[in-house]
Amino acid sequence: MHRNAMARATRRFARTTLTLAALSLLASPAMGELLPDDPEHASDWMAHSDIDDFEGREAFLKFGYEVVETDELAERIDDYTLVDVRTEMEHEALRIKDSHHADLYDEDFTDQLKALREQTDDPIVAYCNGRTCYKAYNAAISAREAGIEGVKAYDAGILEWAMHAPETVRLMGESVDQATLVEHLESGMDGRSMDPMTFAEMAQSEQTQVFDIRAEHERHTRLFPMNEQYHSMEHIDRLVASIQEADANGRDVLIYDEAGKQVRWVGFVLQAEGIDNFTYMEGGVHRFFRDVVSTD
């Protein structure tokens, strides 16, 4: 099939797959309003906004929430209590030293923040993978809804901070210099990324197996329901076993997440297991909506 025809077919396939989910989002009070109080709906709004770079920041600030810039964090890091709101696996892979951990999607997340607030009067700063990741924003939103004051978001994220101040981070629990850090961060991504349109075309092949690694709360719809398996990062052992099985069966492995950030940490684990047959979707579901579904 000619590439243009294939691209049109891919977009039609994507739009059909996503129709019900899109309609449910449009019917939600979150759509058409600016950052409602409900944190899950707020995430929906920001994920489908047209804000570039720091995609959710403009809406986040409009409702009186606060962000911390990288330079400010560098100057006042000892004045803040830092909380990593990503998954435990991501936290163990790369984190700011001495930061606390509370997974945003844990059922007792706000209870953990309340306990932390009781221990300190310092501003609490939530961080995640940054920029196109909304977990830090949603942590602050959830905190306000639970009556917890003084929670801000560091929305540049762990990767940008690690490049800015490598001496303050821990990679797999160890201190590293910047050169070593860069080598590790790039090793799992080199030559493995694929633009969303090409990814979507390949996903329709019988020779591929697609894996969705998003958290359950992020899965508003399945992008490739005829050819994908779901394994969240909380069940990394199952994901590894399934990828090994697909590889043994001669299938090309395609992996996508919400914003193209979590795949990096999964790559660390896969390479440690000796698995090289995997490719990521650049930008995750966010870019898929922008580049595939929204293209005329």
pLDDT higher for 109 or 234? 109
- The proportion of the chain whose per-residue pLDDT surpasses 90, expressed as a percent, equals 53
Q: Which helix (H) or strand (E) holds 152?
A: strand 151-154
Q: What is the pLDDT of residues 250-281, one digit of tens each?
A: 999 999 999 888 888 888 888 888 888 999 99
**Domain architecture of the chain: domains with CATH:** 33-177 (3.40.250.10), 188-293 (3.40.250.10)
Q: How far, in whole angstroms, is CA 171 from its chain's centroid?
A: 18
pTM above 0.75, yes or no: no
CB-CB contact of 163 with 129 (8 Å): no
Distance CA(210)–CA(279), nearest Å, equals: 10
pLDDT in tens, 234-252: 888 899 999 999 999 999 9
- In the prediction, which pLDDT does 190 show? 66
CB 264 within 8 A of CB 187: no
Residue 60 phi, psi (nearest 5): -60, -45
